[in-house]
Structures are given as structure tokens and as C-alpha cells.
Amino acid sequence: MTTSSPSGTGPRTGVAPRLYERAADILAARIESGGLAVGQRLLESHVARQFGISRAPARQALEQLAKLGLVRRSKGHGYVVAKTVREPRRARGAALAPVHLAQQQSWERIYKQIEEEIAARMAYRSWRVVENQLADFYGVSRTVARDVLARLHQRGVVKKREGRWVAPELTRGYVAELYQMRRLLEPAALLAAAPHVSKPFVITLRRHLEEACARAPDLTGADLSELETEMHVALLAHCDNGTLLEAVSLYQSLLVAHIFLYEWTPDLYGREPFLPEHLAVAERLDAGHAADAAAALEEHLRLSLDRAVGRIEAVRRASSPGQLPYLEPL
């Protein structure tokens, strides 16, 4: 196997590229394609989070891009995109979608399934998540099970109460609390993100929503979940306030549950009401009106509360979850 390196030092034969080289290649491809616009800021912490790597290889990747002249140090902190290349080269991993480069840890191999299993049952009642039973069920160590639960806690899916891990029931009161916090935090995150969102990203976001509106009756639960994630996660990820982003993610546990809720109730409201609301946000961003986009996002979240509760109630009537040995009803 022969690969090229963004450092320009020539081909590397038979040796897998290091993490920072792979991250640098992907970022270079995004810059060359226009996916990252001139002037867009690149922060070490964001690169690390996007690729699932530590800050050290993220820093090395940005330094490599600086040597190539693709980025330059910002007057504040981090780097900004300095130029694009007239004749883009095909680099390893040139895809524009976010990608994690780090080798999977033990907890990562089981995390997504556990997240979905728990979120799918939060519509029915509160659950105690038993750490040792979770470890036994998946054949992993207690340490791995603890890592999974710690990350579920960061996502807001489980909470620590009196020394126990609890997945709280999605009651109307709890859902109202989640949406109240989202209405406070997400518009602020959007305002902070707006200066760093590239024009191609906004155009793609708007196109996806326009296409979804055109074929609204045919959208699946997975389609709806993807559109939610693109608006509330991928867009807001451009926010350069890491503390604010952490707070936002803590109250987005319903986005995890929506995967299950949409699967069971994709046509509950006929033409999905959030589509024109999302499109209103994208149109205002595309026009350069960040404050109006933030106001449209807040209005969308205000309207979404009753619909979310309606989906939860519909799921309760239509299905019943199977038993899992690591979940005890409360």
C-alpha cells in the first residue's frame, strides 16, 4: 500500500498513516473543496472532538496545515482557513462528513446499542441501570460498563441519584424542563456558531430541508432523525464556546430518544411540522441574519414540546419494550 502525506515528504510505503496525518488530510480536502471557507476558525478542541482524537494529534494536524499554507494562526486563538487550492488533490478520507479516526475503545463498541436500548424505554417509566448487570450482559469489565454510563451521563440519558444510575421517565414535566433549557441554550449556541459556519454547510443544510419538504409524505423515521441531528448537533457544533456546547448536549437526551420515537410514529402528524420550522432557520442563516435564525430556532423549540409529548404518548399506546437484565423499573 502506498499513501501520500500532507507534509509533502513523499509517499509512505506499507505504513498506516498516523492519526494527525489522517486528520490533516481530511481537513485539507475540506479546505480544497470549499467545505471549510476562507476565514473559518479551526480550534484544536473542536478538531479533537470531531475526529475522536486527543488534543495532541489535533494540534499536530493544524500545524501541518499551517506549514502547507492552508491555515494560519488566528489573532485570538486557534487557526483560520487561509486559502483554498485551485486544483484540489484527492486526499485520503476526502469525505466531507465528520469522521472519527481513533481506534475504538471497548466502551465504544457497545455504547450506541446501549444508548438506544435505554432511550427506547424512557417513554414508559424510569429505570435503574445496574452497572454489574450491564457488564455481565455485554461480557465486558465493570470499568468498561462505567465508561459507557459516564458517557450516557454526559449525553443526559442517565443521571446519578443517591449513588445509582437512573434513566428518568420522559414525563410531560421532565420533557418540558428539557425543552425550556434547550430554548435558553440552543439559540445562544447558534449565535455563537453563526460566524464560523461555512456557506457550503448552510447551503447543504437548506437543500436537505427543501428536499425533505418536497417528499414529506415519504420520509422515514430515520430520515427525520437525521434532519434533527443535522440542525441541532452538526450546525451547533460550529459554536466556539465549548462550555456552552457541553451544556447544550446535556439537555438533548430527547434527540437520542427521537430515533426510537420517529421509528414508531413517522407519520403521526402527517406532513412533519418541524420541516418548515427548520427550513426557516436555514433560510435566515443563508441570508446572513443570525439573530433572526436564533429567534426562529427558539420558536421551533417552543412549538416542539407538545409534539414530543404526543409522540411519547403514542409510543406508549402502541408498543411495549422487552425486558433487559440490566434495567430495573422504578
Rounded Cα distance between 163 and 221, Å, is 36
Rounded Cα distance between 330 and 322, Å, is 16
- Percent of residues, the chain, with pLDDT higher than 70: 81
Compute the chain's Rg from CA coordinates.
21
**CA proximity to 305, closest of 279, 262, 274:** 274
Which one has a higher pLDDT value, 226 or 300? 300
Alpha helices in 155-250, H assignment, sequence order: 172-193, 199-214, 221-229, 242-250
Whether the Cβ atoms of residue 156 and residue 251 lie closer than 8 Å to each other: yes
Could you tell me where in the chain the CATH 1.20.120.530 domains are found? Answer: 108-330
Query: Which amino acid belongs to residue 302?
Result: R
For residue range 238-296, what is the model confidence (pLDDT) as tens digits? 999 989 988 898 887 776 666 666 666 556 666 778 899 999 999 999 999 999 999 99
Rounded Cα distance between 285 and 234, Å, is 14
Rounded Cα distance between 6 and 92, Å, is 10
User: Which three-class secondary structure string do you get for 79-97?
Assistant: EEECCCCCCCCCCCCCCCC
Q: Pick one of 3.30.70.360, 3.40.50.970, 1.10.10.10, 2.30.30.110 as the CATH number of 2-81.
A: 1.10.10.10
Rounded Cα distance between 100 and 329, Å, is 35
For residue range 130-169, what is the model confidence (pLDDT) as tens digits? 999 998 888 888 888 898 898 888 888 899 888 899 999 9
Rounded Cα distance between 138 and 111, Å, is 11
Q: Which of 24-38, 154-168, 213-227, 296-310 has the highest mean pLDDT?
A: 296-310
Rounded Cα distance between 89 and 26, Å, is 11
For residue range 71-101, what is the model confidence (pLDDT) as tens digits? 988 776 788 888 765 444 443 333 334 555 5
Provide the pLDDT for residue 258: 64
For residue range 91-127, what is the model confidence (pLDDT) as tens digits? 333 333 455 555 556 667 778 788 878 887 888 889 9
For residue 194 the three cell numbers come to 453563526
Residues ≥6 apart with Cβ < 8 Å to 110: 138, 140, 144, 148
Rounded Cα distance between 87 and 79, Å, is 23
Whether the Cβ atoms of residue 96 and residue 28 lie closer than 8 Å to each other: no
Q: Pick one of 3.40.50.10260, 3.40.50.300, 3.40.50.1820, 1.20.120.530 as the CATH number of 108-330.
A: 1.20.120.530
Could you tell me where in the chain the CATH 1.10.10.10 domains are found? Answer: 2-81
Provide the pLDDT for residue 256: 64
99: left (phi over 0), alpha (psi -120 to 50) or beta: beta
Place of cell 469525505: 95
pTM higher than the cut 0.85: no
Place of cell 435505554: 118
Provide the pLDDT for residue 76: 64
**CA proximity to 45, closest of 190, 232, 243:** 243
